[in-house]
C-alpha cells in the first residue's frame, strides 16, 4: 500500500475533524431520543443538544467566591485534551489527523488528564456536590483506566504496535480473521469500560441530579454560561472518542486507505454508522439496566479487567 502524500493526509484529517466536531452533540441527541422511545416517552429532538449549547453560550458565567483561576481555564484544558485525543484516533482514514504524534497510551493519558482537570475544577468551587462527584469520579477512574489499557493491549498485541493507525490497518487487512476469541474478550471488556467512560448506566445516570446517584453531573453543577457549554461539549466529544477508539481497535472495517472520492464516502458512511450504533447501544443500556450501587461498581469494573486479562492470556499462550 502506497504511503499517502501530505496533501492527502491533510484532506482525510480535515474530513475527520469536521465530522467528529459536528456530529458529537447529535450522538447525545440520538441517545436521549432512543431512550425516550424505549420508555414510551416522546423525548427531546435529536438537535436539542445543539440548542442547549447555543443557549448556554449566550448566558453569563457565574463563579463561586471560592473559585480560583483554575475554574476559568479548566473547561479549555478539558476540551483541548479530548480534542487532541480524538485526533489521534483513526475514524475516517487509516491514519489519524495527528498520526505519529502519539499512540493508544497517549490517548488514554489525555482522557485521564481531562478527567483530572475536571475533578480539580469541581473541587475548586468549594461545593459539596462538586467534591462528592470528584471523589466518585476519581475512584471509578482508578478501576477504569487499567481495564481500558488491558482491553486495548490485546489489539496492540495482535497488530504488533501500539499505534492506533497501525492497529486499524492490520484489522482492516485481516477482515473477519481479526475477530479472534481473544480480541472479542478485549472488546467485551472495552464495552464495559465505555459505560463508565461516558457516564451511562449501570455506572452513572446521565439524566439525574440526585445527590446520592450523580457522578459526572455533580462536577458540572457549579459551571454556567460558556464554561458549561464547553464542558458539556467536551463530554459529548468524549463519546465520539470512546466509540472511535473501540471501532479503530476492534471494528476497523470500512476505514479509508486512500483519498479517492468513493472510498472516502464509504468511510464517512461507515464512521457515521459506527457512531450511531454506539449511541443507540448506550440508549438501550440506559433504558434496560438499573444503576448499580457505588459499592457494587468495583465488581463490575473488575470483571472488565478479568475479561481483558483472559483475552491477553489467550493471545499470548493459545495457538492462533
Q: What is the pLDDT of residue 220?
A: 87
The pTM (predicted TM-score) of the whole model is 0.94
Task: List the chain pLDDT tens, one digit each, 320 residues.
Answer: 556 777 778 888 899 999 999 999 999 999 999 999 999 999 899 999 999 999 999 999 888 888 889 999 999 999 999 999 999 999 999 899 998 899 999 999 999 999 999 999 999 988 888 888 888 899 899 999 999 999 999 999 999 999 999 999 999 999 999 999 999 999 999 999 999 999 888 888 877 666 666 777 778 888 999 999 999 999 999 999 999 999 999 999 999 887 888 889 999 999 999 999 999 999 999 999 988 888 889 999 999 999 999 999 998 887 55
What are phi and psi for residue 111, nearest 5 degrees? -60, -40
Q: What is the span of the domain harbouring residue 72?
A: 6-317
Domain contains 13: yes
Q: What is the pLDDT of residue 211?
A: 62
| pLDDT, tens digit (0-9, with 9 covering 90-100), for 192-221 | 999 999 988 888 887 766 666 677 777 888
Domain contains 89: yes
Domain contains 215: yes
Q: What is the pLDDT of residue 6?
A: 77
| pLDDT, tens digit (0-9, with 9 covering 90-100), for 130-180 | 888 888 899 899 999 999 999 999 999 999 999 999 999 999 999 999 999
Domain contains 243: yes
Q: What is the pLDDT of residue 2?
A: 58
Domain count, the chain: 1
Q: What is the pLDDT of residue 19?
A: 95
Domain contains 10: yes
Domain contains 1: no
Domain contains 263: yes
Q: What is the pLDDT of residue 320?
A: 53
Domain contains 209: yes
Q: What is the pLDDT of residue 319?
A: 57
Q: What is the pLDDT of residue 205?
A: 81
Amino acid at each position: 500500500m502506497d504511503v499517502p502524500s501530505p496533501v492527502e493526509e491533510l484532506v482525510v484529517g480535515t474530513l475527520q475533524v469536521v465530522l467528529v466536531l459536528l456530529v458529537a452533540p447529535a450522538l447525545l441527541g440520538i441517545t436521549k431520543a432512543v431512550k425516550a422511545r424505549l420508555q414510551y416517552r416522546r423525548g427531546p429532538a435529536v438537535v436539542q443538544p445543539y440548542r442547549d449549547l447555543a443557549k448556554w453560550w449566550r448566558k453569563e458565567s457565574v463563579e463561586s467566591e471560592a473559585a480560583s483561576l483554575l475554574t476559568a481555564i479548566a473547561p479549555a484544558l478539558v476540551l483541548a485534551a479530548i480534542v487532541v485525543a480524538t485526533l489521534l484516533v483513526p475514524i475516517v482514514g487509516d491514519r489519524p489527523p495527528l498520526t505519529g504524534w502519539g499512540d493508544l497510551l497517549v490517548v488514554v493519558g489525555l482522557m485521564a488528564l481531562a478527567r483530572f482537570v475536571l475533578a480539580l475544577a469541581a473541587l475548586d468551587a468549594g461545593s459539596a456536590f462538586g467534591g462528592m462527584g470528584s471523589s466518585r469520579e476519581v475512584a471509578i477512574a482508578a478501576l477504569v483506566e487499567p481495564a481500558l489499557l488491558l482491553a486495548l493491549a490485546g489489539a496492540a498485541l495482535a497488530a504488533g504496535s501500539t499505534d492506533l493507525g497501525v492497529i486499524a490497518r492490520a484489522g482492516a487487512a485481516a477482515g473477519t480473521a481479526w475477530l479472534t476469541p481473544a480480541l472479542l474478550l478485549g472488546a467485551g471488556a472495552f464495552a464495559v469500560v465505555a459505560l463508565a467512560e461516558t457516564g451511562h448506566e449501570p455506572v452513572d445516570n446521565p439524566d439525574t441530579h440526585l445527590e446520592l446517584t450523580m457522578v459526572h453531573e455533580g462536577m458540572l453543577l457549579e459551571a454556567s454560561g460558556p464554561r458549561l457549554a464547553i464542558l458539556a461539549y467536551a463530554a459529548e466529544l468524549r463519546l465520539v472518542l470512546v466509540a472511535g477508539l473501540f471501532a479503530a481497535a476492534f471494528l476497523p472495517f470500512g476505514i479509508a486507505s486512500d483519498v479517492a472520492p468513493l472510498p472516502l464516502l464509504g468511510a464517512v458512511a461507515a464512521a457515521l454508522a459506527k457512531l450511531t450504533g454506539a449511541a443507540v447501544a448506550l440508549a438501550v443500556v440506559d433504558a434496560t439496566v438499573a444503576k448499580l450501587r457505588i459499592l457494587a461498581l468495583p465488581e463490575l469494573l473488575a470483571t472488565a479487567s478479568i475479561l481483558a486479562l483472559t483475552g491477553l492470556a489467550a493471545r499470548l499462550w493459545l495457538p492462533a
